[in-house]
Structure 1
Amino acid sequence: MFPPVKIVSGGLEIREFGPPDAAQVTALVAAGDRTALPPGSPGDVADVDRWLAETVHQRRLDGAGVHLTIVETASGEFVGSVGLRDTDWAAGTTEIGYGVRAGRRGRGYATGAARAVGRWALVDGGMRRVQLHARLDNVASVRVAERAGYQREGTLRMAVWDGEKAHDLAVFSMIAIDLEAAEAAR
């Protein structure tokens, strides 16, 4: 089981989704814009309250991962989400993913959140390795991984199907030694 998450870093508050987020999540679901919400988030407005009150919390307690909201501390505005999934406690590994609202992209929110949550997972979350996969044609996501301090390990060729064609995935990771190197560089 992951411990409760509340990270304040670089002008962001990163915490578990919960009932106070109902209005913002409902608005995104109603608009059909789920790009800033985590995988498994509700596709129907009627399911939002249950997802926020039960599913998100249970996911963390079960140790499967965490669904976290990214909030800009200055404005209190929801800017996106970041989360951990595919957690393997025996191996000490998990995968990070992120998404930012279209109008808030390009401002460093995903980079800051990916860096902070990766660090949290390694220091407080009990993980030895945080991995990240980004489609090669998603240049912004690849840049986020690089700027957040994840190390590129290689490419999974033709690894993901989008319903029309296969895409290559860049593989990144963050381990404790990467945190030490980042601290030494400061």
Structure 2
Amino acid sequence: MYGVSLGDDGAELRPLETWHAEELLAHFDRGREHIGQFIGFGSRETDVDSTRALLKRFADKRTEDSGSLHGIWSDGKLIGGVLFRTFDAATGVCEVGCWLEPAGVGKGLITRAMHVLIDWAVLERGMHRVEWHAASGNTPSLNVARRLGMRRDGVLRGSHLHKGTRHDIEIWSLLAPEWHALRARTARDDH
């Protein structure tokens, strides 16, 4: 299957398919504690069948044009991923998300992968608004939103119950005109 290079370090973004179930489960097992600090993603996938079911749900979402799941590989090893949690072409609004095991932290992989997803959503699919939802305590996730040029729209106080604790959820967004302007500035700065 195809892959998109994420830079000179050999990292690559590829779709996660149902046949990746064993590899994804091994990744979840390596990073379960780290990934699960603020989100439940991957927490219910404890065997190959449940992991395959997750991948199948996202394959169905991709078929329905309502979401998709993408893995980040570094040196041939799955270490994280990004997703369209929701994707509504009719309204022009989508929500992106991410997860990463400790081996991938601090390398800019999520930011680079998100650039690929947002470019595709805005430039190819005509999405108007890209949302990012993250717990207020999840500083690395909020920093990615900032690096992507997103703006904080607000906070849903105490709206997310995770591991017995209520978390505030911050909603960040990026509008298509902002993304176009950011890309134009980056292109000017590169020359």
Q: Deviations over 1:40-87 (max 9, x none)?
A: 7733223445654x4432220112200111123xx2222201000233
Question: 1:130 Cα deviation (Å)?
Answer: 0.9
Secondary structure class of the residue paired with 1:68? strand
Provide the rounded CA distance (Å) in 2 between the counterparts of 1:49 and 1:163: 24
**Identical residues among aligned pairs (%):** 28
Provide the rounded CA distance (Å) in 2 between the counterparts of 1:5 and 1:156: 38
Residue type at the aligned position of 2:12: E
- 2:68 equivalent in structure 1: 66
Distance 1:126 1:184, change over 3 A: closer
Q: Deviations over 1:92-136 (max 9, x none)?
A: 111111011122211111121222212211112342211001111
- 1:140 equivalent in structure 2: 140
- TM-score norm. by structure 2 comes to 0.78
Whether contact under 8 Å (1:94, 1:130) holds in the other structure is yes
Provide the rounded CA distance (Å) in 1 between the counterparts of 2:40 and 2:18: 16
CA RMSD of aligned residues (A): 2.9
- 2:49 equivalent in structure 1: 46
- 1:10 equivalent in structure 2: 7
Provide the rounded CA distance (Å) in 2 between the counterparts of 1:38 and 1:80: 14
Distance 1:8 1:178, change over 3 A: farther
- 1:21 equivalent in structure 2: 20
Secondary structure class of the residue paired with 2:82? strand
Whether contact under 8 Å (2:14, 2:72) holds in the other structure is yes
Q: Deviations over 1:20-40 (max 9, x none)?
A: 534421323555828399947
Q: How does 1:78-117 map to 2 (within 5 A)?
A: 78-117=78-117
- 2:189 equivalent in structure 1: none
Whether contact under 8 Å (1:30, 1:45) holds in the other structure is no
- TM-score norm. by structure 1 comes to 0.80
Q: How does 1:153-164 map to 2 (within 5 A)?
A: 153-164=153-164
Kindly tell me the number of residue pairs found equivalent between the two proteins. 180
Determine if the alignment matches structure 1 residue 177 to structure 2 residue 165.
no
Moved more, 56-65 or 13-22: 13-22
Distance 1:49 1:154, change over 3 A: closer
Distance 1:105 1:124, change over 3 A: same
Residue type at the aligned position of 1:9: L
